[in-house]
Structure 1
Amino acid sequence: MVQPYPFMSQAWDLMGNSHQSGFSPDFHIPYGTQQASQESSAGTYFGSMTMPTVKYQKGDTVMGRWPGSSLYYEVKVLGFDVQSQRYTVIYKDGTELELREQDIKRAAGFQTRSRSRSRSQSPGRRRSRSRSPARTTRRSSSRTAAAVAAAAITDSAPSSRRDIKLKDTLEVRLSPLQQTKAAENNSNNKHEKKEEKQKEENNTASKVNEKIEAKADAEPEKNQGRYNLRRRKDDGEGKPEVQQEKEVKVAAPAPAATPSTPLDFGGKIGAYFWLLFLPAWVLFVVLQGDLEDPSLTNFPPPLPPLEAFWDPQALGFVVLWILFQVLLYILPVGKLSEGMPLRSGERLKYRTNGFFAITVSAVAVVAAVHQGVDLTYIHSRFLQLATATFLISVLLSIYLYIRSRYAAPEQRALGGNSGNVVYDFFKGRELNPRIKSFDLKFFCEMRPGLIGWCLINFAMALAEMKQQELDAPSYSMILVNLFQLLYVVDGLWNEEAILTTMDLMHDGFGFMLAFGDLVWVPFTYTLQAYYLVSHPNPLSLPAVAAILLLKLVGFYIFRKSNSEKNAFRRNPSDPKLSHLKTIPTATGKSLLVSGWWGVVRHPNYLGDLIMALAWSLPCGFSHLLPWYYMIYFVILLVHRDSRDMSDCRRKYGSAWDEYCRTVRYRIIPRVY
């Protein structure tokens, strides 16, 4: 869909991409132009692809070093990025990080001694008494050899060797669940005596070790050690006696703070710029469109007096409109849809009754006009309405930032936790701010601004009839209203698809989305209708037919590609999608390389561009201003494509390179 601004990615890739476009610094592309990053799970790849050899495979449980420290924790491997040569891992507290290979070790490499054994260099607590000395061990592994070497060194090595070993192996305190067994040999009697003495000193050994050792003796074939990461608070349980040795410090629990991703949109300095530029641009569009000659020669438009920006009645109108949409949203009407799993594994529920909301809104507006309400007030107070909505978006953003300070780490977005107040205020810190079951982000994205867009267009049609003394709106105005109404209705009819977009799944809710949803969309996407009120452009019937056909072609491409992608993302094993070819990736998801997604990498962008062209053509070529959306949209999509390429190459590695070789063109076949 149309994104609120060229730099915000918020929109609504109805396909369910990983980076849907919608309303992000790429500006609200109405609900459909979402990211084309190809994520899905499962599929068949008809072709050959060489996958890189990696040391650790997806699903492996290993030990990962916590960045900035020498402490290792148990982690699970989620994937490997060939481009950056880093592994994506997840810690037990849910934290996901990218680690280099040298920061990851196999669990078997973390053999530690219990505290009470620190003075002994016995190779291990063998139960040699349960074996005959003549019974030859079946082990010949490198672990066994290492144990033999350790035993030899222990018998003759000085204490300095023990100190070095202690330093090397116990940077992180791990509780061994399986002790290494030294090779059996003819010196078993000697070791038995040592173990008897050791057993008396080590009367504080944990019950877990005893059980695991017993299991290890019963299964001498197994060569893998298991380890349990023990936190400081757990150490000491079951160890009431005073230790004679200095205890090795236990690693502190991994911090629970939410990790943050690289800064977007120019980083901290960029956040200052966008906070100033976005409101200024909306002001420019509104003032320029109101000029008799809105050409660039009259740039910048003259500023009206300060009192012209404010109208309490306009503020009241906006507040009533938002409250009306809140009422429609909370009514127990429509489907209760389930969102995608969050980092915590939770799946939020959303009331997807957008089509019901716009239907009731349309009936209410028609009834109001029939009762004599003058909706041309929206045209005459367009500047004041924009100012009032901007004020509400700022107040909402302040509230969101304050409440995010008290949000739990798992409730915060990865991209809005830089630690810089301005950047976090702009990008948004909390992922899904809710007041009980009322989801603020979902509501703002789909209701007041989006349906308000249609309300403003309708008011502009009435204003044109009044100002141009027409009995009916012009063909140009009818086309603009019809095209954009179809676009919004389609988005609300397929409202559930937004739940798979980047906006809902990953972006925090801050000024970027609040301003885009409430101000940018309704006051910049209505520019064509606003322009036609004072600058009519008569169209012949053949021209109307050609523009209408162009719109239908764009809409068909847009809807079919989005539906195909969204269906594949939600259920890749659907028999109806069995004809689609895919490329598997190391992340477990797949990239579509057939159907609409085999023609270009962003077929939904192509459909959106064609529709944007159809929106602007009814305004003619007298001025550049009504073509603003088309120009902005081209810049936006090229920027998003570049950003998507970088993100996907980092995420999917060689699989993405293979995909790019298979699908050569990005947006326009044989052109770009």
Structure 2
Amino acid sequence: MGNSQQSRFSPDFHIPYGTQQASQEGDAGAYFGSRRMPSVKYQKGDMVMGRWPGSSLYYEVKVLSFDTKSQLYTVIYKDGTELELKEQDIKNPAGFQTRTRSRSRSRSPGRRRSRSRSPARTTRRSSSRTAAAVAAAAITESAPTTRRDARLKEAIEVRLSSLDQTKPAENNSNNKHEKKEENNTANKVDEVEAEPEKNQSRYNLRRRKDDGDAKEAEAKPEQLEEKEAKPAAPPSAATTPLDFGGKIGAYFWLLFLPAWVLFVILQVNLEDPSLANFPPPVPPLETFWDGQALGFVILWILFQALLYILPVGKLSEGMPLRSGQRLKYRTNGFFAIVLSSVAVAAAAYQGVDLTYIHSHFLQLAVATFLISVLLSVYLYVRSRYAAPEHLALGGNSGNVVYDFFKGHELNPRIKNFDLKFFCEMRPGLIGWCLINFAMALAEMKQQGLDAPSHSMILVNIFQLLYVVDGLWNEEAILTTMDLMHDGFGFMLAFGDLVWVPFTYTLQAYYLVSHPNPLSLPAVAAIITLKLGGFYIFRKSNSEKNAFRRNPADPKLSHLKTIPTATGKSLLVSGWWGVVRHPNYLGDLIMALAWSLPCGFSHLLPWYYMIYFIILLVHRDSRDMSECRRKYGSAWDEYCRTVRYRIIPRVY
């Protein structure tokens, strides 16, 4: 569900604004595909010597990618730490020769005071020793090595007369506490990552257990001297990790998702929607199409686009992209839903029959699906002409079908009109509330009621509160996985425009023909459950967003964090110290409150709850692998500190 909110779809599939999180603050490692940049000195896969920020020490690192716009190389150290270095801070290994020193004179980089400073050195000697021992570990070669061999990897110190010794970097901690990231979402995780301040340059490292004993590294350091450089070896073939079953999975999802939406709509229309009556009968083909329904959908999208471009509301700044650029977004979603409500009320007052939405639900879904397909085709075609730095790392596999599904371009825009941001929060999300309202009117008409039933009222109010909360906190979606990492293709276009409005309204659609009376005690219990879930959801998202945007805020000085080698921190305070994804927990509780008003006669209205559990478990596994790659040993420490992922003492 939404977070300040995330996208509720994504076969990761859509979690409108909320649970997603994004964690992940997306720093993908590999450069897209296998394309080579002729002007790049070092290529992906090269083993080179990288100068540690804030010191004159060089360590063996592996090149992961090169950003043509920022002119920075992303490199990885043995403990999993990834940093960005300038070309002048990287040397060819052939330019160094090893010279061992006697044991009596050897000192770890962290203990040498007069000549150089160790990585992540602080005023406390114990911290500098630990950091030096970690940074000393070299990248393991492709051939397997034994644990004993790994321990013999030693600190490498370089003396270069041409290099000026830099001053120690600034501490990236908040008062006495080091900043941390939330686990998203991501949500990645629900990863809660603090955005580093521009003047911060300190890096922290924590040694992994399997990197060997720190004392051994201290006892046998090697000193390197620069010699004549040799040309770098050609890079190895690059591949892009694929999600959702890879290329075959893309074909599956392209067929399954539309089929599933049609199934739930046809099944819920049955007098007895029990799964024993599966599959539902398929109506004649002509019943799937209605030109008036298509016109209604187009009019609705254009109306929302008009509200989006109005110069009303805050102009918010997004998170930094790989290029360092920050896009601006018009976050006036709350204004849009208020004006939409006024327009719908005026239409109802003028006698417009909104129950048309219920009676033509199938035709409206098909029309919206057609629009999502056309939009996806347009997005893919225009992405073929986009600059490399504008492409999404995860949607740049080179396979047409997969890239079409996952999204090839990260932030497609028509001038200042951001297509992904608009679709995430406007037509489908506000349309969700419009459909629910139409279902309440249809229930009154079909059941001969003077007012909607208690069950229908609860479903409408609960889901309206969820959407309004997301639009009120619309700026928070800018830190989510969908906006920061996922490209805009069929997955998100279909999820935003079709999946959300035509499957999240299933409870209200079900209640029109299958009423479920509730007693007042049952109503009170369901409301209490909903409020509890909403509190956890909103509180955890507020903690995450405040910490991520300004970890140096004095109001956050009490928070406990775990430092990472990237200069950022992982948050382990508040709800983020209870489970790794507290916003997911709140989302699940709210989903339960949405389903309970429908009773237990049929499984179909519980589809959302079941789907959501699967979605969150998948997203959690995706977050875990990304965070472990990104934060190395700091992530292992975080997992030991916060043991449970979503449900305390259960999972």
Fold shared by both chains (TM-score > 0.5): yes
1:23 aligned onto 2:4:
no
Aligned partner of 2:539 among 537, 548, 560: 560
Quickly say closer, same or farther: Cα 1:466–1:428, change in 2 above 3 A: same
State the match for 1:628 in structure 2: 607
State the match for 2:43 in structure 1: 66
Quickly say closer, same or farther: Cα 1:577–1:400, change in 2 above 3 A: same
Within 5 A, what are the aligned runs for 1:457-472?
A: 457-472=436-451
Measured in 2, the distance between the counterparts of 1:670 and 1:602 equals 13
Quickly say closer, same or farther: Cα 1:77–1:302, change in 2 above 3 A: farther
Tell me the amino acid that sits aligned with residue 500 of structure 1. Answer: T
Q: Contact 2:7–2:424 (CA<8 Å) still a contact in 1?
A: no
Within 5 A, what are the aligned runs for 1:573-652?
A: 573-652=552-631
Tell me the amino acid that sits aligned with residue 329 of structure 2. Answer: Y
Tell me the amino acid that sits aligned with residue 507 of structure 2. Answer: Q
State the match for 1:307 in structure 2: 286
CA shift digits 1:583-623 (9 cap, x unpaired): 00112211111111001111101100000000000000000
State the match for 1:453 in structure 2: 432
Within 5 A, what are the aligned runs for 1:341-420?
A: 341-420=320-399
How far residue 524 of structure 1 moved from its aligned partner, in angstroms, is 0.2
Q: Contact 2:8–2:17 (CA<8 Å) still a contact in 1?
A: yes
State the match for 2:465 in structure 1: 486
How far residue 75 of structure 1 moved from its aligned partner, in angstroms, is 9.4
Tell me the amino acid that sits aligned with residue 20 of structure 2. Answer: Q
Q: Contact 1:599–1:663 (CA<8 Å) still a contact in 2?
A: yes
What SS does structure 2 have at the residue aligned with 1:629? helix
1:521 aligned onto 2:497:
no
Q: Contact 1:22–1:28 (CA<8 Å) still a contact in 2?
A: yes
Within 5 A, what are the aligned runs for 1:254-333?
A: 261-333=240-312
How far residue 30 of structure 1 moved from its aligned partner, in angstroms, is 2.8
Quickly say closer, same or farther: Cα 1:73–1:307, change in 2 above 3 A: farther
Identity %: 81
Q: Contact 1:66–1:72 (CA<8 Å) still a contact in 2?
A: no
How far residue 72 of structure 1 moved from its aligned partner, in angstroms, is 7.4
State the match for 2:104 in structure 1: none
Q: Contact 1:40–1:589 (CA<8 Å) still a contact in 2?
A: no
Measured in 1, the distance between the counterparts of 2:245 and 2:376 equals 20
Tell me the amino acid that sits aligned with residue 465 of structure 1. Answer: M
Measured in 1, the distance between the counterparts of 2:52 and 2:367 equals 50
How far residue 67 of structure 1 moved from its aligned partner, in angstroms, is 3.6
Measured in 1, the distance between the counterparts of 2:388 and 2:52 equals 20
State the match for 2:639 in structure 1: 660
Measured in 2, the distance between the counterparts of 1:72 and 1:397 equals 41
Name the TM-score, length of structure 2 as normaliser.
0.72
Q: Say what the alpha-carbon RMSD is for the aligned residues.
A: 3.3
State the match for 2:91 in structure 1: 107
Q: Contact 1:178–1:226 (CA<8 Å) still a contact in 2?
A: no
How far residue 261 of structure 1 moved from its aligned partner, in angstroms, is 3.7
Q: Contact 1:40–1:591 (CA<8 Å) still a contact in 2?
A: no
Measured in 2, the distance between the counterparts of 1:546 and 1:660 equals 34
State the match for 1:53 in structure 2: none
Paired residue total: 502
How far residue 179 of structure 1 moved from its aligned partner, in angstroms, is 8.8
Measured in 2, the distance between the counterparts of 1:371 and 1:661 equals 61
State the match for 1:48 in structure 2: none
CA shift digits 1:437-484 (9 cap, x unpaired): 000000000100000000000000000000001000000000000000
Measured in 1, the distance between the counterparts of 2:343 and 2:618 equals 40
Q: Contact 2:579–2:644 (CA<8 Å) still a contact in 1?
A: yes
Q: Contact 1:76–1:91 (CA<8 Å) still a contact in 2?
A: no
Measured in 1, the distance between the counterparts of 2:420 and 2:77 equals 36
How far residue 270 of structure 1 moved from its aligned partner, in angstroms, is 0.3
Ranges in structure 1 where 5+ consecutive residues have no aligned partner: 3-11, 15-19, 42-62, 79-84, 113-139, 141-176, 181-222, 230-247
Q: Which moved more, 1:497-506 or 1:383-392?
A: 497-506
State the match for 1:208 in structure 2: none
Structure number with higher relative contact order (C-alpha < 8 Å, ≥ 6 residues apart): 2
Measured in 2, the distance between the counterparts of 1:645 and 1:324 equals 40
Q: Contact 1:76–1:90 (CA<8 Å) still a contact in 2?
A: no
Ranges in structure 2 where 5+ consecutive residues have no aligned partner: 28-39, 55-60, 80-84, 97-114, 116-159, 164-223
Q: Contact 2:25–2:479 (CA<8 Å) still a contact in 1?
A: no
How far residue 97 of structure 1 moved from its aligned partner, in angstroms, is 5.1
What SS does structure 1 have at the residue aligned with 2:344? helix
Measured in 2, the distance between the counterparts of 1:389 and 1:570 equals 36
Rg comparison, structure with higher value: 1
Quickly say closer, same or farther: Cα 1:74–1:300, change in 2 above 3 A: same
Measured in 1, the distance between the counterparts of 2:360 and 2:429 equals 19
CA shift digits 1:2-41 (9 cap, x unpaired): 5xxxxxxxxx564xxxxx6643222112311123647799
Q: Contact 1:337–1:350 (CA<8 Å) still a contact in 2?
A: yes
How far residue 345 of structure 1 moved from its aligned partner, in angstroms, is 1.2
Within 5 A, what are the aligned runs for 1:44-59?
A: none
1:475 aligned onto 2:461:
no
Q: Contact 1:602–1:666 (CA<8 Å) still a contact in 2?
A: yes
Measured in 2, the distance between the counterparts of 1:525 and 1:501 equals 20
How far residue 404 of structure 1 moved from its aligned partner, in angstroms, is 0.3
Q: Contact 2:42–2:232 (CA<8 Å) still a contact in 1?
A: no
Measured in 1, the distance between the counterparts of 2:51 and 2:404 equals 32
What SS does structure 2 have at the residue aligned with 1:25? coil
Measured in 1, the distance between the counterparts of 2:555 and 2:162 equals 53
1:541 aligned onto 2:527:
no
What SS does structure 1 have at the residue aligned with 2:330? strand
Measured in 1, the distance between the counterparts of 2:242 and 2:72 equals 18
Q: Contact 1:554–1:608 (CA<8 Å) still a contact in 2?
A: yes
How far residue 178 of structure 1 moved from its aligned partner, in angstroms, is 8.4
What SS does structure 2 have at the residue aligned with 1:430? coil
Measured in 1, the distance between the counterparts of 2:403 and 2:25 equals 27
How far residue 225 of structure 1 moved from its aligned partner, in angstroms, is 7.0
Quickly say closer, same or farther: Cα 1:584–1:71, change in 2 above 3 A: closer
Quickly say closer, same or farther: Cα 1:106–1:325, change in 2 above 3 A: closer
Measured in 2, the distance between the counterparts of 1:579 and 1:667 equals 24
4+ aligned runs moved over 6 Å, structure 1: 38-41, 70-78, 177-180, 223-227, 250-255
CA shift digits 1:206-239 (9 cap, x unpaired): xxxxxxxxxxxxxxxxx98799x9xxxxxxxxxx
Measured in 2, the distance between the counterparts of 1:65 and 1:108 equals 9
What SS does structure 2 have at the residue aligned with 1:538? coil
Quickly say closer, same or farther: Cα 1:660–1:262, change in 2 above 3 A: same
1:669 aligned onto 2:641:
no
What SS does structure 2 have at the residue aligned with 1:30? strand
Q: Contact 1:39–1:590 (CA<8 Å) still a contact in 2?
A: no
Q: Contact 1:40–1:572 (CA<8 Å) still a contact in 2?
A: no
Name the TM-score, length of structure 1 as normaliser.
0.70
How far residue 254 of structure 1 moved from its aligned partner, in angstroms, is 10
